[in-house]
Structures are given as structure tokens and as C-alpha cells.
Structure 1
Amino acid sequence: MTIRPLAGLTARSVGRELLAGVTLLAIAVPLNIGYAQIAGLPPTAGLYALIVPTIIFVAVTSSRHVVASPDAAAAALVASSVGGLAVAGSDQYLVMAMAQAIISGIAFVVMAVFRLGFLANFLSAPILVGFVAGLALDILVSQIAKMLGVPIASGSEFIEKLVQLVEGLPQLNVWALCISAGSLVILLVGRRWLRVAPWALVVIVVSTVVVSITDADQAGVDVLGEVTGGLPTLTWPILDWGTWIALVPSALALTLVTVAEGLLLSRSYGERHRYRTDPNRDLLAFGLTNIAGGASGSFAIGSSTSRSAAMEQAGARSQLPSLVTAAGTLLLLLFGTSALALIPSPAIGAVVAVAILPLLGIRELTRLWRVERGEFVVAAVCFAVTLLVGTIAGIAVAFVLALINVTRRAASAPVDVLAGAEDGGAILETAEPGTTTAPGVVILRLAAPLFFANAASFVGAVKASVGAAGTPVHHVVIDLESVTDADVTAAEAMTGLRDWLAARDIQLAFSRPREHLLPRFRRLGIISAEPVFATNRDAADALSTGAAPSAAGEPSA
């Protein structure tokens, strides 16, 4: 089945989609200029991302709603990683940012080829909330300084930025404060009054007019300055191999953040609007988009949650608004860059600050604190490491915590004692109502794959059940119905269990294995000559009556 991102477009919806495209253009231009500044790049790096990369993403993606663009998290990652290798704003810095996007794009393509779209489910929501909140707060401090006209050294760590902001407060620029305060009023009050209006564009236009009339730039208000016009040119970053290799960790971090956020966003919109999405195709789309971005003067591109939501609210049901944005940006670069020169930085700071406020995750963190303190601690750790140590450390800790979380849950998988073990003279649990078992028979079930993380705990549970039985045990039956896989470590653990039971004259048997897993269980040595019964009732009846066991490794009739 061919997936077409414009499939949701109809003759009746064209007008609405075109209007949504104009809204997206109005939102994207000031935000991308702001994100480029966060990344330490010229404004054109943000605008170029809206042309060739956007067209490629629309052509390849399976989503009708996700908007591909640089975002706050990507900009912060670029600034923190490339900032340690080159001076922000220099030509070498831009080349490195382009190379970083290309490396990230190649990583996406490799993941698509090997069909690794399932990795979108790996990062839990608390981990992602904590990581993104750390990035957002770091960016927010920078934008507050910009709104107040307080200079902050590029590449500074969070604590350094905070100290510089506080120390610079006595020198704040009154004009900058007034512009940013007015911008915030328009953005916050305007969104409550008419949510779908392009208030970011209104702020940029009004503040630029104010600067041009009052000559506020002569009073110390920082403005965007001259923006180079013209079409983006396709090029390839020229760097030595050592620099390419140095950019790999940060490029992979950018890739992983987009995998976690972009693919989940695509899936959620597909489920909500009842159309099919393909995570591996989306991986390919992000890969080709980033390669195109790096080759056309831009930087790392991911998914924009806020812009995707804005398009859904505007009634968009296809990727046509993104194409309108690409065309509008192209016209702006060809004929309208002179109008960008007097855009005041405090207004851009206000636009970016309001855009990233939801990324602080205050509502999500409050909910985690209320419903699950353990998950809140995980989010808080990711938040603190990202904010205080750095973004690369943050993403590393995020994935380590994800791995620990998965392993912990698998290692503590429930072991059901179906029959035979007693606690204070009472049978703990019987799986099938009405099933009776003979004295001396213990039946257990593991509700998870049997592998290295839980093999030892499962064997311990079997031994504990044998010890808890009220009568001497002569048979242990393991119900394999819920066991979906096993590995070598599990096989070795089962061999040790078999020897432990044999030393006590207890026979090990198996019940209800999945038929397609029998060859694997035999190959690993988990099932050999021991009887395997079709059901727990059969197991109990056979063992209580002394019936002959079934053929080695085969379920009985």
C-alpha cells in the first residue's frame, strides 16, 4: 500500500489547507530565525531548513501532520556540541553544523534500512520529559537575557548563564525590556483571544515597525541585521576526518531525540485521524531531510511538536501547508530579506520563550509526582543531568535509565504459582477454576520471556515454591504458555535447576509450550527428554495417576 502524505487533501479542503500554510509560514519564519540564533548560526540557516529539506520530507514521510523543522532541542544540542569545537558565528562553525546534520541524516537512513523504527518505543515519557525540560530551561535563560538586553557569552553552561544574567541586570536595556514586554502581552493575550492567529508574525511586524520609527537600535537594542538573500546552494562540508568523527556523538544524540519524539508524534496523529503510518519510512524521511539540510546550509532537523499541533488546530489534514511554507520562504529569501534587518532580538527572544514554555513539562512533572514518584525521580535525574552537565550527558543518561528500566521490569516479571505451594497451609493460587492437583505436584508459570535478566529470579522462585509445599514434592511442572522466548543464559539456569531438582528426586516437566518455539527450546536444551503436557489439568492428572509421560519434548494428546 502506497502512503501519500497529500492523500488527506480534497477539493473542499484546499482553501483551508492553503490558509493553514500561510499560518505555518508566519509561525516558522520568526521561530527558525530564533532557533538559528540559539544554535549560534546565521538566520539563513534556519530559513534554508524550510525549503529543500521540507520538500523532501513531504515527499517521503508517511505522516500527514508532522512538521519537520529545527526546534529548540536541536538548536541547544548544536550550540552545546559544536560550540566546543569552533567559535559560534564563524564559517567553520557553520560547516560543522552542516556536517553534524549530514551525519545525523546518515544515521536515520541506516536505521530505516535495518527497520529500527521500533526504537521509538524505547524512551519512556518521563525520560523524554526530563531531558527536553532541561534543554528548555537552558534555552529560556538565554532568551530572558536577550529580552532584557543583557549580554551572555555564547557556549556558556547553564550556571554560567544564570550568573551572567543576574550580574548583568543593572545594565539591562529599557528599550529592550519594553519591546519584550509588549511582545509577551501580544503573544499570551492574543493566543487566549484568537488562538489560530499568527501572533508570532504580528509581534515581529509590530516590533520591527517600532524599531524603525523610534531608532531603538541606536539606543542599544540588538537587531537581526542584514540577512543574505538568494536561493540556498547545494554544497558539501569540507572537514578533516578527525572533526567528522568528533561530531558523531552529538549527531547520534540529535538522531535519538528525533527518533523518540518524531516517530511517536507521527504514530499518535495517525491513530487519532485513522490513517496508516510507517515508522521506518519516517526514519528515511528524517534521514534524507537532514542530509538535504546539511548540504544546503542548514542544521539538524527534527519534528516540531508545537507547529504540528498548530496545523491540526488550523484544520490541516495533509502536508500541503508545509509546501506553502517552502514556497513562501523561497519568495522571502528572493525578494524580502531587507525587511528582516530591523527585527529586534528582544522580540525574537519573546517568541522563542513563549514557544518553549510547554517544553518545560511542568504539567507532566506535576502529574508524575502525583501518580508515580519513581517515574518522577527518573525524569528529575534526566532534567538535572541535561541542565547541569550537558546535553550529550543527558541523552546518555536517558538511554541508560531506559535500559535499566526495561531490564528491571523484565527481571521482576511475575511468577505465578498455579498449584502446589502452600503458605500457612493454603494454596497460593490456582490458575484454572476446578483444577485439582495431586499432593507433591508444583505448577508454576512465568509471564515473560525467559532470559538473562530474569532467569536467576525465576529459578529462585521455583526453589522457594518447592520449599513452601506442604507435602514432599516429586514433580515440578513449568507452564510455558506465556514464555515467548529464551536465551542461552536461561538454558544454563534451567540445567542448573534440573540438577538441583534431580538431587532431591524431583522430576521437571513442562506444560503448554508455544509450538513454534519447541525447536528453539530443544536446541538450547531447555526441553529434552522431560515430558511436556498439553494443559495443567493433564499434567496434574498424569502425575497423580502415574501415567506414562509423553514422548520426549512433545505435548501429550
Structure 2
Amino acid sequence: MQRPLAGLTKKNLATELTAGVTLIAIAIPLNIGYAQIAGLPATAGLYALIVPTVVYALVVSSRQLVASPDAAAAALVASSIGGLAAAGSADYATLALAQAIICGVMFVLLAVFKLGFLANFLSKPILIGFVGGLALDIMVSQIAKMLGVKIDSGGEFVDKLGGLLSGLGTTNLWSLAISAGSVAVLLLGKRFLGAVPWALVVLVVTTIVVVAANLDDAGVDVLGEVPAGPPALTWPMLDWTVWLALIPSAMALTLVTTAEGLLVSRSYSEKHRYPFHANRDLMAFGLSNIAAGAQGSFAVGSSTSRTAAMDQARSRTQLPSLVLAVGTLLLLVFGTALLADIPSPAIGAVVGVAIIPLLGFRDFADLWRKDRFEFVVGASCFLATLFIGAIPGIVLAFTLALINMAKRAANPAIDVLEGSGDPGESLLEDVPAGSTTVPGVVVVRLAAPLFFANGSVFTSAVERAVTSVEGEPVHDVVIDMEAVTDIDVTGAEEFEALRVWLAGNGVRLSFSRMREPARLRMQKLGLLGDAKIFETNRAAIIALQSGEPNETTPTEKSTP
């Protein structure tokens, strides 16, 4: 089993510690903003950087992935809990804790039963649309904060947008100036001096300006008092019906985090050539979320931006996450007074700039160029997330993904090689150069498993291949089984109907390149009968041409 802090050596210790300081500068201001997005106090974002971060860093297989609440998760927390309790209330915070614990249990179950593959249903268009919709919803709230306009941040997107537009006349000019300057520093600083923690610089400088000029008296909203002290162990006490009501949103959070987290984790492990263990990573997410719910925080996911920042800082271990935990703990114990006067417009600017890439404009343009249907999937998920809600949005996305999958599976590639026509290249791999099949023989390959969605399509293709041949009538059909890895009951029924049809038309049925699992499956389903099984297409052509017996029988083991 991989040891904790794998990859840490004396040579890279200084680099890892420096990266940890950088991570502190990035994570603390962002988590304060994300807690506000979720409708929770700043401490909820900071607590997530202590115990959950330590648990994750010591358990995960990834040497670089940074775990933390992110913008999309925070927005999903707000949209799912907002209908159950008022943002900022004690009941609301308790629901957030319970939701994190449910997420943790789901992650553990995924790891134990090795069900991480379920997240594969969240294709790229779904993630683009879902995260993009959440990001735009967040952006409206952050723009309001940057302008000093009061809106109901826990409301629906349309209500928040309406509140922002109707409140433009109440814009606070000092708030506008702070946010405009902050955005300029963040964007220009990232472009020209990317190594500098500009988010921290912005918060420090704007806080000094607000305090020096007493801008809070001029209407500039500030963070306010942050309770000092480390997180305390707790447990949400709720009726079981409330726990059940939180399951759908926890499931959405779990699936999105699984899809994004495993994808990012795998990409960095491949890039830097260290082991990747998906189930161990899922267990790490599970334990860290349970820890988050048991000590006053909210759902923890993967942070793509912070992971990229650590990669740029040449970090290759989880030590920076431990440094982050220690630094955050020291801040909560000794330095919360420094947080009270941070201006909300600056926090809004930091979060707003951070989520710009999540809006997915370039990704949508790329989908439009590559595949219009997948663009529709992403756009539908985007609009549903905005106007219906996050949970209905992800349900719609799953439905569209299944439709997309069924659409592709129902139209598999079917190659036909016949004596009087042009041979398909994919069937000529083991056929002598310059040759085709003998007259009266047709070779057909289905490049997919045979199941309910494509069974009738395959049988119709074979029937057309038999009846459309000009010249000598077809008397032999060879099914190339190389790509057929499975057959379900509906596919078997379609295949049996094809066998009957071929026999009724005086056509013999043979097989080639059949894999052993497929042979056993077909034997169990009673589809082999007395059909010949050939090792290669070439062997089938030669044998059927010369009248030689088959190379293997249905009861013998054939080589894939």
C-alpha cells in the first residue's frame, strides 16, 4: 500500500513547503468566498481546510490533487438547501453538515463496491453545461456583491438576475471602484506575474484601504467578525425524513466530484508517472466529507484550479495540503481579527475571476464545432440548471446522455465483405492481398456487442447483404465475431430469428474470430447449433471455397 506523503524526499522538501505557503495564499480567500456562496459563515469554508484536508492528504493515492469546497459545489449546496431552510440560519448550517456526511457515505460505498464507473455517465458536455449553469448563477451573486447591490443570494436565478437589474440604481461607487481595481489586478497580475498570489494581495490591500478610509461607513460591506478558535466536533441532529430529502443533492455532488476528481487525478498521475488508484481516491473523498460534516464545514470536492497551481509550483506530494491545514488553524486561533474588515466587493471579485473559466464559453464553442448533438446536451443541461434547478438539471443531463448513448449504440458499424462487391478494409486484415470472398459467400462483422438496441439493425443488415448480392446467390454467411464481446437476451432472440431466416433461404451460417467468452455466452444462449467456427476470415474463405471441414467445432476452444 502506498505510504502517506509518497514522493516526499529531502531534496524536494523546501519546494513542497514553499508550495504550501502559496496554497495558503490561494485557498483561504477563495474558501471564504465559497462559504458565502453556499450561504454559510466564513468559518465553514476555513474549517474545510483543516481536518478534511488532513484526512484527504493522508489517504488519497494522488500526490497532487487538492481537495476543498469549490465554486460549483458551493452553488449546488446553496440551491439544494435553500428550499429547506433560510440561508444563514442554524438549521441551514445543520443541513449543510448532514449533506456533507451523506456525500461521504456515498463516496465510501462507491469505493467499497468499486462503482466509480457510474460517474462516466457524466460526459464532458454534461459537466460543461452543469458547471457552467452553476457558475453563471454564482456570477450574478458576485456581481451584485461587487456593485454593493443587495439581492437575495439564496433565490432562483431569474429572481437574482431581476434583483440585480432593478437594483443597479443603488450601486455603491466605492464598492464599484474596489471591485474594478481588484478585477484589473487579478487579471493583469495572472497574465504577467502568474506566480504571485494576487488574490491574497487584493484582499490585503483593499482591507487596508477600507480601514484607512473608513469606507464601511460609506456603505462598503465587509466580512464582519469571524469567530476565533479551532473547529469543534459536532453531528447534525435531524429527522430521518430530512436526511432522505438531502439524498438527491448529495448524490449530484458525489457524482460531479467523482467525475471531475478522478479525471484530474488520473491526468496528473499519467503526466508525472506515479500510481493512480481510483477506489482509494474515492475513499479519501468519503472520509474527508464525513470529517467536514462532523466539524462544521460543507461538502468537499476537487479543486482543479488549486491543483494546477500546485503543479506549476512544482509540488509533487500532498505536503502543501498539510501546510495549508496548519496555516489555516493558526489563522483561526490567532488571526481572525485580520479577516473582519475584508471588503465584500473584493471577495466578490476574487470569486468572480476564479469562476470565469467555469462558464465554459470556449468549451461550448468547441462542442459546436465537433458535435452538434453533444452541444445540445451541454446547452440543455446549462439552461435546465439555471432555470429549473441544479438537481433537475443533472437528471435531464443523465437522460440526454442515455439517449445519446442509445443513439450511438443503435447504429453500430457493420462491415460487409462479399464476393461480387468491394471488400471492406476492416475485414481484409487476414484475407490474402488482392482477393475477395468466393462468389456466394458473405462475411459480416458487427463492431459492437449485440444487444437490445442494435439487434434488429444487425439482422436487417445481414438480410440486406444476402438479398442484394448480384450474380450467384449467397449460400454461406460468415459472422466475424472479433468485436462482439457480449450478447443479451433480446439480441439473442434477434439472432435466432436471423438463423431461422437464413436456414429458410438455404443459407448456411458460420462464425470467425470468436472470442472464448462470446463462444461460451452463445453456447449458453443456444445460438451455435452446428455452425462452423473458423479462426480467421481467411480460413473461412478457403474452407468454404474448397469445401474443407471447419477448423474448430462449436464445442472446442477457439483462439481470439
User: Would you say same fold, with TM above 0.5?
Assistant: yes
Q: How does 1:55-204 map to 2 (within 5 A)?
A: 55-204=54-203
Cα distance, 1:43 vs structure 2:
0.7
Of all paired residues, the percent bearing the same amino acid is: 63
Q: Which amino acid aligns with 1:457?
A: V
- SS of residue in 2 equivalent to 1:196: coil
Cα distance, 1:73 vs structure 2:
0.5
Partners of 1:435 and 1:537 within 8 A in 2: no
**Deviations 1:198-231, CA, capped at 9 Å, x for gaps:** 1111111111111111111122211111111111
Partners of 1:527 and 1:553 within 8 A in 2: no
Distance change >3 Å, CA 406–CA 421, structure 1 → 2: farther
Partners of 1:5 and 1:318 within 8 A in 2: no
Cα distance, 1:30 vs structure 2:
0.9
Q: How does 1:363-512 map to 2 (within 5 A)?
A: 363-420=362-419, 422=421, 431=428, 432=431, 433-470=433-470, 471-512=472-513
- Aligned-partner Cα distance in 2 for 1:420–1:131: 51
- Aligned-partner Cα distance in 1 for 2:420–2:46: 69
Partners of 1:134 and 1:384 within 8 A in 2: yes
Structure 1 residues 138-147 or 450-459, which shifts more? 450-459
Cα distance, 1:176 vs structure 2:
0.9
Structure 1 residues 120-129 or 34-43, which shifts more? 120-129
- Aligned-partner Cα distance in 1 for 2:2–2:418: 51
Cα distance, 1:234 vs structure 2:
1.3
Partner of 1:551: 553
- Cα RMSD over matched residues? 1.7
Cα distance, 1:51 vs structure 2:
0.3
Q: Which sections of structure 2, spanning at least 5 residues, go unmatched? A: none
Cα distance, 1:139 vs structure 2:
0.5
**Deviations 1:271-301, CA, capped at 9 Å, x for gaps:** 1111111111111110111111011110011
- Aligned-partner Cα distance in 1 for 2:491–2:465: 19
- Aligned-partner Cα distance in 1 for 2:79–2:556: 60
- Aligned-partner Cα distance in 1 for 2:129–2:454: 29
Cα distance, 1:58 vs structure 2:
0.4
Cα distance, 1:420 vs structure 2:
3.9
**Deviations 1:389-409, CA, capped at 9 Å, x for gaps:** 111112112222222222222
- SS of residue in 2 equivalent to 1:442: strand
- Aligned-partner Cα distance in 1 for 2:143–2:178: 12
Partners of 1:270 and 1:277 within 8 A in 2: yes
Cα distance, 1:536 vs structure 2:
1.7
Partners of 2:417 and 2:437 within 8 A in 1: no
Partner of 1:540: 541
Distance change >3 Å, CA 90–CA 553, structure 1 → 2: same
Partners of 2:190 and 2:198 within 8 A in 1: yes
Q: How does 1:3-402 map to 2 (within 5 A)?
A: 3-4=2-3, 6-402=5-401
- SS of residue in 1 equivalent to 2:453: coil
Distance change >3 Å, CA 544–CA 319, structure 1 → 2: same
Structure 1 residues 370-379 or 525-534, which shifts more? 370-379
- SS of residue in 2 equivalent to 1:482: coil
Cα distance, 1:77 vs structure 2:
0.4
Q: Which amino acid aligns with 1:368?
A: L
- Aligned-partner Cα distance in 2 for 1:267–1:121: 14
Distance change >3 Å, CA 179–CA 556, structure 1 → 2: closer
Cα distance, 1:314 vs structure 2:
1.2
Cα distance, 1:158 vs structure 2:
1.3
Q: Which amino acid aligns with 2:246?
A: L
Partners of 2:63 and 2:316 within 8 A in 1: yes
Partners of 1:421 and 1:442 within 8 A in 2: no
Q: Which amino acid aligns with 2:70?
A: D
Q: Which amino acid aligns with 1:525?
A: G
- Aligned-partner Cα distance in 1 for 2:387–2:448: 38
Q: Which amino acid aligns with 2:457?
A: S
Partners of 2:66 and 2:321 within 8 A in 1: yes
Cα distance, 1:500 vs structure 2:
1.3
- SS of residue in 1 equivalent to 2:191: helix
Cα distance, 1:140 vs structure 2:
0.6
Partners of 1:45 and 1:297 within 8 A in 2: yes
- Aligned-partner Cα distance in 1 for 2:3–2:402: 35
- Aligned-partner Cα distance in 2 for 1:322–1:526: 57
Cα distance, 1:120 vs structure 2:
4.3
- Aligned-partner Cα distance in 1 for 2:493–2:226: 67
Structure 1 residues 120-129 or 150-159, which shifts more? 120-129
> TM-score, structure 1 length as denominator?
0.96
- SS of residue in 1 equivalent to 2:539: helix
- Aligned-partner Cα distance in 2 for 1:129–1:9: 35
Cα distance, 1:428 vs structure 2:
5.8
Distance change >3 Å, CA 513–CA 304, structure 1 → 2: same
Partners of 1:421 and 1:468 within 8 A in 2: no
Distance change >3 Å, CA 34–CA 427, structure 1 → 2: closer
Q: Which amino acid aligns with 1:170?
A: G
Distance change >3 Å, CA 141–CA 157, structure 1 → 2: same
Q: Which amino acid aligns with 2:456?
A: A
Partners of 1:8 and 1:317 within 8 A in 2: yes
- Aligned-partner Cα distance in 2 for 1:83–1:233: 25
Partners of 2:442 and 2:474 within 8 A in 1: yes
Structure 1 residues 517-526 or 325-334, which shifts more? 517-526
- Aligned-partner Cα distance in 2 for 1:223–1:492: 69
Partner of 1:514: 515
- Aligned-partner Cα distance in 2 for 1:189–1:540: 68
